[in-house]
Chains A and B, each alone.
Chain A
Amino acid sequence: MEQKVEYLSPEGWRQWHLELLQSTINRIYHRVPFYRKLMDEKGITPEDITDLSALKKLPFTTREHLEKNYPYDLFAVPLRDIVRLHTFPGPRTPIVKGFTKRDLTSIRKLTARFLSTSGVSSEDIVQICLDPGMSIWIEELKEGAEELGASVIPPDPQSVTNRVRIMKDFRTSVLITTPSYALYLVHFMQERGLVPPESLHLVILVGEGMDAPQRLRLEKALGVDTRLGYGITEAIGPAMGYECERREGYHLAADYFLAEIIDPETGEDVKEGEAGELVITTLMVKANPLIRFRTGDLCRFLPERCPCGRTTPRISQILGQCDGRVSIRGIKISLSYIEALLKQTYDHIPEYLLYIRQEKYLEELELWVAMNEKLFEPSILGLHKIAEKFEKAFEETFGLPCRLKLVEKEHLLQVSQGKKVIRA
């Protein structure tokens, strides 16, 4: 049954989505004052949801709403039903995500389906190499792989040398990591004349997309097949989209959520096949359901039916972010967060530039801050101390290092050309 869902007829999907959308709305209308208020304001009752097109009448949920309702106001179950609380950084407040036992079970099953579609089986030894900033992904991927009966090696704060050694000694057959880290590993092995472990047959790439030439290079260098996975931590987690054996875009897990692609300016649907912002309505989530959540990720629907037979909608790779967030090694960093941090450090927001440099395939972050008289401290040492404070706060938040560099304003403007983010 669970396997067959991905192959439902259009009529089957219509019924599936209608039933789940109605019960989700019935629950949140009575249990989440935030949504009830929004719906009342727009004059919509749960009884108006008679068709999937009624979804368009419902308001959007943004990351700002998540912050405003921090910590627990968007929960649709009593707190005592929550068995896990995840937190990750938002610009003004942390973002909280709660799970009931049932939520955890269903996410685990979904993640297992993603991994098994990617080619993981109970015979595999799965090694996860992800930065601590992706701790939620680590947790869910680990549980999904365990659900399949695979042997999982969760990430440790190990050196690359040790990780490569473990890969060889433990006979890792599947590696789950980000595209940039995978390329970095290739570089690392080649530089030291190390042969990739023979046992390795599959690399599952999450957190970011990867273009075809780079992907081919990675596959050749490691002698592996690769699969991409897509997810949004705020909505459901990893496994929201995954490639089938055709590897032509992400199949969305449409049994768990409804997807729309809208024009981020107008909020209206884009024309078929055009790029826009992905919007998600959860259907299976009990603790923390989201209605029309604006992901900020830009992509387009692939309208053709996939030859693999699955009838789930497919999207392209993510073309970028439209809401001032930047994806670095799979971790999403919002500029408004950086601005909040700058304000905290300097009491104002100086001119800045987020400078992303490729260092042996790994992205290194620098935040350039233009000098101005408000920054001045009695001593150079004082300036450095303040910069260090910023760097520490940044790393504590995102699990990624970021170097703060004070530069001449003219130089910054010359390099930035009016942009806030530059990839070099």
Chain B
Amino acid sequence: MLTVRNLTTQYGAVRALKNVSLHVGRGEIVCLIGANGAGKSTLMFSIMGVVRPQSGEILFEEEPIHHLETPEIVSRGISLVPEGRQIFYPLTVEENLELGAYQRFKKEPKEAIFADLESVYELFPRLRERKKQLAGTLSGGEQQMLAIGRAFMARPKLLMLDEPSLGLAPKLVDNILEAIKTLNQKGLTILVVEQNARKALELAHRGYVLETGRIVLQGRTEELVADEDVRRAYLGKDYRKFTD
């Protein structure tokens, strides 16, 4: 579904991504693990067209998208749940969700959008309870639910999540991950970036390890969990880079 080939992205003199290639197949959950500054978020921004890659290709459903503007990429079917949620605090929960479907109002019947709204409330009953509440008054976990729900409202084919567990209590992390799994079972393809490697590897089918802008390892998650390097670098206490 998504194919990234030789992606190089530069911020000024700093190359954040070096020759990154990866793919996400239809129906898969793929995770990207790596330490802070490894280039995980840059990769997501590059896919979304927020950051322009220096070189390389990004193909979505076999079509190149790396030259497209972000709104066009969204309408092709990719949604990003950015790190730190980035929801609209002064708006209500429901307004936030409706904004997620912004591009659809012109093209689709309202019923389809309301049906999706209903399924977001089914997935996160907490949001239904608080639908008239201002988003800024929600707890961190609820905000994350809202961010995911809002991304879902764009009816994406590929949902990308940047650090969905960041700053959440363990119980909430499990809730969020459970919801991501449910969305996947309903047919959504998912690319998730996580610093919490253990959780990411539990959730995903396959994973890539990103280190200082390069992919140094990939495989099925059960292989990665058992991998000595992954254990040492991301699952253990003594943090050590692959390339040290």
**CB of A110, distance to nearest CB on chain B (Å):** 13
Cβ of B184 under 8 Å from chain A: no
| Contact indicator B223/A106 (Cβ below 8 Å) | yes
B50 interface residue, CB < 8 Å from A? no
Given A102-B228, A105-B226: A27 and B216 interface contact (C-beta under 8 Å): yes
Q: Are A20 and B218 in contact (CB under 8 A)?
A: yes
Chain A min CB distance to B215 (Å): 5
A19 touches B214 (CB 8 A): no
A30 at the interface (CB under 8 A from B): yes
Most A Cβ at <10 Å: residue of B5, B18, B227, B228? B228
A15 to B58, CA, bound (A): 12
Whether B242 sits at the interface, judged by CB under 8 Å, is yes
Interface: B19 (CB within 8 A)? yes
Query: Which chain B positions have C-beta within 8 A of A1?
Result: 205, 220
Docked-complex contact A22 and B215, CB < 8 angstroms: yes
Bound-state Cα–Cα, A1 to B229, Å: 24
Residues B214 and A18 in contact, CB atoms below 8 Å apart: no
Which residues of B lie under 8 Å from residue A101 when comparing CB positions?
Answer: 226, 228
Complex contact B18–A47 (CB within 8 A): yes
Chain A 90-109: CB-based contact to B (< 8 A → 1; otherwise 0): 00000000001110011000
Chain B CB within 8 A of A222 CB: no
Q: Which residues of A contact B218 (CB under 8 A)?
A: 19-20, 23
Q: How many residues of B contact A (CB 8 A)?
A: 23
Q: Is A294 an interface residue (CB 8 A)?
A: no
Residue numbers in B under 8 Å from A49 (CB-CB): 19
Complex Cα–Cα for A105 and B242 (A): 21
Q: Which residue of A lies closest to B23 (CB)?
A: A15
**Do B215 and A19 touch across chains, with their CB atoms under 8 A apart?**
yes
| Complex partner residue of A81 from B6, B205, B229, CB under 8 angstroms | B229
Least Cβ distance of B2 to chain A in Å? Answer: 11
Q: Which B residues are in CB contact (< 8 Å) with A46?
A: 18-19, 214
Q: Is the CB of B214 within 8 A of A100?
A: no
**Residue on B nearest A83 in the bound complex, by CB:** B228
| Residue of B18, B19, B205 ringed by the most chain A CB atoms within 10 A | B19
| A26 close to chain B: CB less than 8 A | yes
Q: Are B226 and A102 in contact (CB under 8 A)?
A: yes
The answer for the CA separation of A102 and B243 in the assembled complex, in Å, is: 19
Residues in A3-59 with C-beta less than 8 Å from chain B: 15, 18-20, 22-23, 26-27, 30-31, 46-47, 49-50
Q: Would you call A202 an interface residue if the criterion is a C-beta within 8 Å of the partner chain's C-beta atoms?
A: no
Interface flag for A286 (CB, 8 Å): yes
Contact with A along B205-221 (1 / 0, CB 8 A): 10000000011111010
Interfacial chain A residues near B220, Cβ < 8 Å: 1
Residue B42 at the chain A interface, CB threshold 8 Å: no
Which one of A15, A18, A19, A47 contacts B8 once the chains associate, using CB atoms below 8 Å?
A: A47
Q: For A30, what are the chain B residues with a Cβ–Cβ distance below 8 Å?
A: 242-243
Q: Across the interface, which residues of B come within 8 angstroms of A27, CB to CB? A: 216-217, 242
Q: Considering only CB atoms, which chain B residue lies closest to A284 in the complex?
A: B219
- Bound Cα distance from A286 to B224, whole angstroms: 12
B229 and A26 contact, CB distance less than 8 A:
no
The answer, yes or no, to whether A290 is at the interface (CB within 8 Å) is no
Q: Does A354 contact B (CB under 8 A)?
A: no
CB-CB under 8 A from B22, the residues of chain A are 19
Closest to A47 in B: B19
Contact of B243 among A31, A81, A106, A286 (CB under 8 A): A31
Q: Is the CB of A77 within 8 A of B215?
A: no
Closest B residue by C-beta to A21? B21
Interchain CB contact (< 8 A) of B223 among A19, A22, A50, A102:
A102
Q: Smallest Cβ distance from A45 to chain B, in angstroms?
A: 9
Given A23-B216, A26-B214, A105 and B21 contact (CB-CB distance below 8 Å)? no
Question: Do B227 and A286 touch across chains, with their CB atoms under 8 A apart?
Answer: yes
Chain B residues whose C-beta falls within 8 Å of the C-beta of A47 in the assembled complex: 8, 18-19
B103 cross-chain contacts in A, Cβ below 8 A: none
Closest B residue, CB atoms, query A17? B21
- Check B21–A19 contact: CB distance below 8 A: yes
Q: How far is the CA of A19 from the CA of B218 in the complex (A)?
A: 8
**In whole angstroms, how far apart are the Cα atoms of A106 and B218 in the complex?**
13
CB distance from B5 to the nearest CB of A (A): 7
Question: A22 near B19 (CB under 8 angstroms)?
Answer: yes
Q: A77-B228, A102-B226 known; A18 and B216 CB under 8 Å?
A: no
A325 CB to closest chain B CB (Å) equals 34
CB within 8 Å of A: which B61-80 residues: none
Distance between Cα atoms of A347 and B128 in the complex (Å) = 90
Q: Which residues of A contact B133 (CB under 8 A)?
A: none
Asked whether any CB of chain A lies closer than 8 Å to the CB of B195, the reply is no
Q: In the complex, A286 Cα to B19 Cα: how many Å?
A: 20
CA of A100 to CA of B224, assembled, Å: 13
Q: Are B223 and A105 in contact (CB under 8 A)?
A: yes
Q: Please give, as numbers and ranges, the residues of chain A lying within 8 Å of B243 by CB-CB distance.
A: 26, 30-31
- B228: chain A residues at CB < 8 Å are 77, 81, 100-102
Question: B10 at the A/B interface (Cβ < 8 Å)?
Answer: no
Q: In the assembled complex, which residues on chain A have CB atoms less than 8 Å from the CB atom of B226? A: 101-102, 105
Given contact pairs A22-B214, A102-B226, enumerate 16 new A-B contacts (beta carbons under 8 Å).
A15-B23, A18-B5, A18-B21, A19-B22, A19-B218, A23-B214, A23-B215, A23-B217, A26-B243, A27-B217, A30-B243, A46-B19, A77-B228, A77-B229, A100-B228, A102-B223
A/B interface sample: 30 pairs, CB < 8 A:
A18-B6, A19-B21, A19-B23, A19-B215, A20-B218, A22-B19, A22-B214, A22-B215, A23-B216, A23-B217, A23-B218, A26-B214, A26-B243, A27-B216, A27-B242, A31-B242, A31-B243, A46-B19, A47-B18, A47-B19, A49-B19, A50-B6, A77-B228, A100-B227, A100-B228, A102-B223, A102-B227, A102-B228, A105-B223, A106-B223
Shortest Cβ-Cβ A-B pairs, 3 listed = A30-B243, A81-B228, A50-B6
Query: Could you tell me which A residues sit within 8 Å of B by CB distance?
Result: 1, 15, 18-20, 22-23, 26-27, 30-31, 46-47, 49-50, 77, 81, 100-102, 105-106, 286
